[in-house]
Amino acid sequence: MKKVALFLVLVIVTSVSFSQKLSLEDVWQKYSFYPSTVSGIRSMNDGLFYTTQVGNKIVKYSYKTGKEIETIFDLSQVKGNNIPNAFTNYEFSSDEKKLIITNDVEPIYRHSFTANFYVYDLQTKQIIKIYDKKIQLANFSPLADKVAFVYKNNLYYQDLVKKQTIKVTTDGEWNKIINAAPDWVYEEEFSFSKAFEWSPDGKNIAYIRFDESKVKEFDMTYYGTLYPKEYKFKYPKAGETNSTVEVHIYNIETKKNIKVDIGEETDQYISRIKWTKNDNILSFIRLNRLQNKFELLLADSKTGKSNVIYTEEDKRYIELYDDLTFLDDGKNFIISSEKDGFKHLYLYSLQTGKLINQITKGNFDIDEFLGYDKKTNLVYFTSTENSPLERQLYSIKKDGTNKKQLTTKKGTHNIDFSKSFKYYIDFYSNANTPNFITLNTNKGKEIRVLQDNKRVVDLMKSYNFVKKEFFKFKTSEGVELNGWMIKPANFANSKKYPVYMYLYGGPGSQEVKDSWDYNAVWHQLLAQKGYLVVCVDNRGTGGRGAEFKKLTYGQLGKYESKDQIEAAKYIGKLAYADEKRISIQGWSYGGYMSTLCLEKGADVFKTAIAVAPVTNWRFYDSIYTERYMGLPQANADGYDDNSPINHTEKIKGSLLLMHGMADDNVHFQNSAELITNLIKNDVQFDLMVYPNKNHGIYGGNTRYYLFTKLLNFLEENL
């Protein structure tokens, strides 16, 4: 389960009138405060130049100066038949002589999609469509002479030289066998869509095969025709049967398909495959069903034989991170782990599997491992060392010495390095400042401002945005929690204001950060309407080490709801807060939490708004739920004790329940079962459902309509 962003990725920003009052139209129809960005950044091989997508062009810039050098590709100048009218993404071949461009994307689930893919030769100026149907995951071979892709659950590749299309697998079948792309639960919870990888020499393709024939189907109904359409897909709920997976290696020259030895256990996860620097050695990550044992294995591409090179176990669970990096020397690898209580980086021998040294240490979490520069022997990463609320950039020697902080502005730095590690682009923001994007040297020196978002900053000033303030408080158990608040416009200590609490609260998530997001505009609207807007990160959230995060294991909702109730009580005691008018709102995991808080905190919360909530973890998917709860067969009380379905009789306040009826993630079943128990216990509530809408509940006028309903509910009930 991932946090649902309450904005659309692609919006058209229109101008607004310079009045001092925000409107819902400004926030959720015009998206007037949506910041600009620099999109489609690709570092070129030499590390001296980078490209970005500007409309239907690919433009080359200098890292050294930040200035535009040339237009590499302009779709409007391409001649020939069957040319797309636009493209949404691009990928260079390894030699940077060809491009793959993507057009007419159709989403499948959160990460996956089908599209039309084209190869454009930058030298000959010729363009070809890779396949005559929409396909998935088109990807160049390392030699740029072939493109692999997935069509109807089978793996193919096109030989660009021989102009032949080769079908690698033949058994792909909807809701049964998937080759080279993940099933629903792998895609959602292991966060990837491409389940194949070219070997470094381009002679082999490794891929994962999913047999989901024994996984139970889930049905959704799509409306809009005389007879509604039924959509069925495989969705393993907690404790139910998962896909059986295999790893295969297909040799391009011999046409042989080698099955890799992944062990005798079939009820397990192969969460990643990745080639080492050796053309013949594939690595893969194996997790047991409970996800508390992590193994890195190496497999021989010629025989399929494998051996375990690294093992880690935890009494609760192990998070999956994409930090595994094989060094160019072919001898060592870097991996991250929380085994000392915080997420840190470690250097291991690839030959012996033994620890060489721990690279980073301390009571802070590594947020993102950005890479290793072999020329300078430096590892780059961002971390929470300054504060759990911040993300700063650091460098450190591979042996763990000479650590340096490279960014200095208080807030959050998201970093995109050049391939040479000589430069980086910094996507910086803080709680009150939208993206400020700069080009920098690897020493932290600013070369050029790429995007200052002055338009948004000026709009925020003209609309009198209130500063977000951070605070801390201690619970009755002595636990210090972080929070932020936005005070009402024209704030006066002598007044008492209704409180709107916003939360997510799920494992490893973080809402209380010194960074900007579009939700801030919605919260400013509430502040202008006289609400005190508050957010607190409960136990179980991220940025504060493994113990703080993993405390909730086996009993999701117990400690989180306790912390949110105490937070509401703390806020209610402030001189300017009306303790009798406190509302709580959340989406997804936050919807689960807001419902549970209205029940367990019946004397504290006057209203709750739950959007797309989980209402019983038995209804949610296997990978996410079992990672944090174990199996329901072994932890029945953990699943049931904090299920909102089982506490409806405690509700005293007003509840607004909202859900998309085509939610493939948190199924509408969750709300339906909650409704059954609300009726059973004669609890009146408000309900808003959205036909044909998924977990994000967006498209057309939907988001504006949703927040209109939400705001009206607040004004009528709080």
Catalytic residues: 588, 663, 695
418 Cβ partners below 8 Å, 6+ apart? 43, 47, 48, 50, 63, 424
Given the DSSP bridges, would you call strands 577-587 and 607-611 parallel, antiparallel or unpaired? Answer: parallel
Burial class (CB in 10 A: 0-12, 13-18, 19+), 688: middle
Which of 523, 541, 543, 602 has its CA nearest to residue 568? 602
Q: Which helix (H) or strand (E) holds 606?
A: none
Three-class secondary structure of residue 56 per DSSP: coil
Q: Determine the Cα–Cα distance for residues 539 and 544; give it in Å rounded to an integer.
A: 9
Which of 106, 160, 107, 97 has its CA nearest to residue 130? 160
How far lies 297's CA from each of 216, 231, 261, 289, 352, in Å? Answer: 30, 38, 10, 17, 12
Lookup result for tokens 């959509």: 231
681 Cβ partners below 8 Å, 6+ apart? 648, 649, 651
Q: Determine the Cα–Cα distance for residues 17 and 23; give it in Å rounded to an integer.
A: 11
Which of 591, 571, 575 has its CA nearest to residue 660? 591
Can you read off the two tokens belonging to residue 383?
């971390």
Q: Determine the Cα–Cα distance for residues 487 and 499; give it in Å rounded to an integer.
A: 10
What end-to-end distance do the CA atoms of the chain give, in Å?
30
Can you read off the two tokens belonging to residue 675?
């409704």
Lookup result for tokens 């040339």: 70
Q: Say if residues 247 and 284 touch (Cβ distance below 8 Å).
A: yes
673 Cβ partners below 8 Å, 6+ apart? 615, 616, 619, 645
One-letter amino acid of 56: N
Can you read off the two tokens belonging to residue 104?
């007419």
What are the strands, taking DSSP E only, across 418-518?
A: 423-430, 433-441, 446-451, 469-474, 480-486, 497-503
CA Rg value for the chain: 26
Which of 81, 139, 131 has its CA nearest to residue 104? 131
Burial class (CB in 10 A: 0-12, 13-18, 19+), 714: buried
Q: Determine the Cα–Cα distance for residues 537 and 506; give it in Å rounded to an integer.
A: 9
**What does residue 644 show for φ and ψ, rounded to 5 degrees?**
-55, -30
